[in-house]
Structure 1
């Protein structure tokens, strides 16, 4: 029970943000998080068989979120590119604590302007610390797609004029 509680404490907020980025409803995202952890509790005897529990939890959350969307979409197909993931990008990583508040705010704005799939991949890799293979497994895409989307994200972030101005002011960009 202590391990289950600790797992919930460690990952529930992240899974909530991930689910919310897809369903865009706080209540539904909370329900999905609850359903994810109920499923984990129900299958606790088989958890040792799972190679990467974090990827497994994100995958369950993705499936529950997509199931919710498909049940409530009136037959429309919804892809990752059509999702608004603005709430998913939060910028509460340790790196944000080390840089100035202005730079962190600018970075958040720039990341929020990325295309939806690119943004969610960037969030999972850079802020959640997942590997490309893990993100690929969660989103059911190729690791090469993850790599390409990360390259696009890094390029667009590097080209952002506001970021260039701030970095120049700190003497870290020329």
Structure 2
């Protein structure tokens, strides 16, 4: 097998990976690992979680290698994959208690916060829960199924007997209500990543 030079172009490497070339895959891994890891770290604020996400990104890359010939920008593909994996992880947090524990462990500024900062975080959580509880019943149900149970829009639409577009509308409106309620907490934007995540 002919050795692939490290200077090989991205389209050539993608073509080779699509054909199952593991050496080309390793070159892409080496070329983009730091960028993918940095993106995941920026989104999660957790080195351990960022490493897990980065590994998952490259697992997805290999599993979907057959379609890589259609990818025009690998960097964009990797970023979107990392972002979606992070958001999926957040959506699978089953309860506010689990989410609180995640925040305390993964966000250093919060974990080391004093009594005033922790009181502010508690107030923020209460604002989130109160806002969700005040949503119209259908919006609230759709939002909870999406963000608390990790269900996709298609699954929620089937469960609720409405269209996918209707579900997306419910969640957009719910997020708009949360943004309005949290307008006085701009510094806490990352804490709300689970609620304001990319809509599928």
TM-score by length of structure 2 reads 0.37
TM-score by length of structure 1 reads 0.42
